[in-house]
Amino acid sequence: MTAGIVGLGLMGGSLGLALRGVPEIDRILGHDHNPDHGEEALKLGLVDEVVDWERLQQESDVIFLAVPVEGIIKALQNLTAIKPACTVIDLGSTKAKIVESIPPAIRKNVVAAHPMTGTEKFGPSAALPNLYRDKIVVLCDLEQSGELQRETARALFRAIGMKIVTMDAREHDRHAAYISHLPHAISYALANAVMSQEDAKNIVILAAGGFRDMSRLAKSSPLMWEDVFKQNRDNLLEAMDCFEEELRVCRALVKGEKWEELRDWMESAQKLYDIL
Amino acid sequence: MTAGIVGLGLMGGSLGLALRGVPEIDRILGHDHNPDHGEEALKLGLVDEVVDWERLQQESDVIFLAVPVEGIIKALQNLTAIKPACTVIDLGSTKAKIVESIPPAIRKNVVAAHPMTGTEKFGPSAALPNLYRDKIVVLCDLEQSGELQRETARALFRAIGMKIVTMDAREHDRHAAYISHLPHAISYALANAVMSQEDAKNIVILAAGGFRDMSRLAKSSPLMWEDVFKQNRDNLLEAMDCFEEELRVCRALVKGEKWEELRDWMESAQKLYDIL
């Protein structure tokens, strides 16, 4: 089977490395609109060959779309020359708008997936061989994909060590707003709040693990996250409302010096760890 | 030299383990208001002996206060029987109120310190031998400590592998509000926001590294953090204002669909990493 990967950054590059260990895959083609990324991916051995859009479509049995989510929607409109049985798997962090955008002619070819993994780094050099191993992948609106394509996607994700969860695309987007998109917004805001201080440098010198963890996500690609926020706007705004309300509770308790209630509020947060 | 450690949890217990490698220390005494903690600390080899308040004062050449910050203020008022040259080192996460509270009779004995390290775990079993190694310790208002005590503190922190930074106590508290106390408030708020959702369990199942990192601090001891928020209330409120303002900027850009400006805002956050 020939695999084609569109987008040779962190997600696509890591997938190339992971697919090398899958016996069913005998060739990995790559495509990237940035020629430097293509060259770098070849040098790093992430793919076997970098090809143009036409060859990618003609020769791939499975195509992974690993570009920012607005780019995924554009790519889907341009998949006009794929093999009839081709499985197209998008790896976007949002799902509802992507699923809605799939042209009817290739609806059965496409499987909408969100691998719950990543790092704050990006570009081909960020690729890691075990990025997907033991992680969850959410497959959305699977009943709209063809049977062959469903089975191909399941088999490949299992082969690279992932656990499969299925979900409605809208439900996925609501969950993702809370556990992924909101934390990114918070991390960018925290980094900007510290940077707005006159003595930002002195503050950061003192940073221990807590601050480093909380601000790590703010290193993530703005290009990628601009798209995610755009496509999941309404859910993100709702999650931000909910978070801001909690922060207001905390603020009011601190301001009003209600220390016992503050402790209760902190203790309720710890319940998270009964399930995490 | 005999060291006494008050509070045998994460910070005090880890200190006991670290001091075992310091040739100048030939005995480590421990004290904890919780008898179970004392027993556990002995079993884990964190200290050589658990003693009462009187013996701790009479026998220790250096006393570390590793209890929540309100407890530190209480302990300082009760240090009425220490050796004349004793060095008392408090390890609290806030500094201004602690420094103000030191009784004049023992002002020269006390060195106010904040080791910039920790984990979200607590209690004797959370102790780690290398918690302090290669980390920064901030020493505050050092000119008010006696020369012998300054030198003893510096030598011991260096001996356990720490880098020393000196600072005004008020300046420390302002910095700590941004890099430590605000991130804890945010983490508790994020955990509570997710837990307030009907399908919290399903959301958390999907949690990848980002959410785990962002919510890890919410596991921290509410007892300890209630005290910190109490003592650094004004700085924390100011830092929360600053953070909320950044979040409002983000919210307005998302709501107003100003995607290019949103990307600029995200890019400005990345400048943090030129200095971190």
Q: What is the pLDDT of residue B267?
A: 95
Q: Quickly count: other Cβ atoms within 10 Å of residue A234's Cβ.
A: 14
Residues A188 and A133 in one domain: no
Residues B163 and B66 in one domain: yes
Q: Enumerate the residues of chain A whose CB falls inside 8 A of the CB of residue B244.
A: 244, 247, 251
* B84-118 per-position pLDDT tens digit: 999 999 999 999 999 999 999 999 999 999 999 99
Residues B122 and B142 in one domain: yes
**Shortest CA distance to B257 belongs to which of A222, A193, A237, A180?**
A237
Unique residue bearing structure tokens 């780690």? B128
Q: Quickly count: other Cβ atoms within 10 Å of residue B174's Cβ.
A: 20
CB A61 within 8 A of CB A156: no
- Which tokens sit at A247? 């922060």
- Which tokens sit at B236? 């924390």
Residues B148 and B197 in one domain: no
Q: What is the pLDDT of residue A120?
A: 87
Residues A148 and A186 in one domain: no
The residue with greater pLDDT, B78 or B223, is B78
- Which tokens sit at B181? 């106390």
The residue length of chain B stands at 276
Residues A10 and A73 in one domain: yes
Residues B58 and B182 in one domain: no
CB B245 within 8 A of CB A197: no
Say if the Cβ atoms of B214 and A266 lie within 8 Å: no
- Domain end call among B146, B167, B188: B167
Distance from CA of B94 to the nearest CA of A (A): 14
pLDDT range class, residue B239, cuts 50, 70, 90: very high
Unique residue bearing structure tokens 């978070």? A243
* Helix, strand, coil share (%) of chain A residues, nearest 5: 60, 15, 30
Q: Calculate mean pLDDT across residues B20-34.
A: 97
**Shortest CA distance to A11 belongs to which of A23, A19, A2, A1?**
A19
Q: B128 at the A interface (CB within 8 A)?
A: no
Residues B177 and B138 in one domain: no
Kindly tell me the sign of the dihedral angle through the C-alpha atoms of A49, A54, A55, A61: positive
Report the distance separating Cα B174 and Cα B234, nearest Å: 9
Q: What is the CATH number of the domain that holds B111?
A: 3.40.50.720
Say if the Cβ atoms of B222 and A135 lie within 8 Å: no
**Count of A-B CB contacts under 8 Å:** 275
Report the distance separating Cα B163 and Cα A266, nearest Å: 32
Distance from CA of A26 to the nearest CA of B (A): 30
Q: Examine the pLDDT at B276 and tell me if it is beyond 80.
A: no
Burial class of A54 by CB neighbour count within 10 A (0 to 12, 13 to 18, 19+):
exposed
Please report which helix (H) or strand (E) contains residue B100, including its range: helix B96-101
- Which tokens sit at B39? 């027993």
Q: A246 at the B interface (CB within 8 A)?
A: yes
| Residue A206 Cα distances to A10, B8, B98, B276, angstroms | 30, 25, 19, 10
Residues B32 and B101 in one domain: yes
Percent over 70 (pLDDT), chain B: 100
User: pLDDT tens string for chain A (276 positions)?
Assistant: 999 999 999 999 999 999 999 999 999 999 999 999 999 999 999 999 999 999 999 999 999 999 999 999 999 999 999 999 999 999 999 999 999 999 999 999 999 999 999 988 999 999 999 999 999 999 999 999 999 999 999 999 999 999 999 999 999 999 999 999 999 999 999 999 999 998 888 888 788 778 888 988 999 889 999 999 999 999 999 999 999 999 999 999 999 999 999 999 999 998 888 777
Burial class of B58 by CB neighbour count within 10 A (0 to 12, 13 to 18, 19+):
middle
- Domain end call among A139, A167, A195: A167
Rg over alpha carbons for chain A, rounded to the nearest Å, is 21
Number of domains composing chain A: 2
Distance from CA of A85 to the nearest CA of B (A): 30
Q: Examine the pLDDT at B16 and tell me if it is beyond 80.
A: yes
Unique residue bearing structure tokens 């980390």? B135
Domain carrying residue B204: 171-275
Residues A256 and A192 in one domain: yes
Residues B246 and B193 in one domain: yes
Say if the Cβ atoms of B269 and A210 lie within 8 Å: no
What 8-state DSSP symbol labels residue B35? H
> E strands, chain B, where?
2-6, 27-31, 49-50, 62-65, 87-90, 110-115, 136-140, 163-167
β-bridge pairing B62-65 and B27-31? unpaired
> Amino acid identity, residue B103?
P
Q: Quickly count: other Cβ atoms within 10 Å of residue B26's Cβ.
A: 11
Q: What contacts B100, CB < 8 A, 6 or more positions away?
A: none
**Shortest CA distance to A219 belongs to which of B268, B207, B186?**
B268
Q: Calculate mean pLDDT across residues B124-145.
A: 97
- Which tokens sit at B269? 């956050």
Q: Examine the pLDDT at B257 and tell me if it is beyond 80.
A: yes
CB A190 within 8 A of CB A215: yes
Q: B135 at the A interface (CB within 8 A)?
A: yes
Kindly tell me the sign of the dihedral angle through the C-alpha atoms of A41, A47, A51, A56: negative
- Domain end call among A167, A184, A219: A167
Q: What is the CATH number of the domain that holds A267?
A: 1.10.3660.10
Q: In what order do the strands lie in the sheet with A136-140?
A: A49-50, A27-31, A2-6, A62-65, A87-90, A110-115, A136-140, A163-167
Angle of helix A259-270 versus helix A233-255 axis, rounded to 10: 140
Q: Enumerate the residues of chain B whose CB falls inside 8 A of the CB of residue A237.
A: 251, 254-255
pLDDT range class, residue B65, cuts 50, 70, 90: very high
Distance from CA of A36 to the nearest CA of B (A): 22
Residues B121 and B183 in one domain: no
Q: What is the pTM of this model?
A: 0.90
Say if the Cβ atoms of A210 and B184 lie within 8 Å: yes
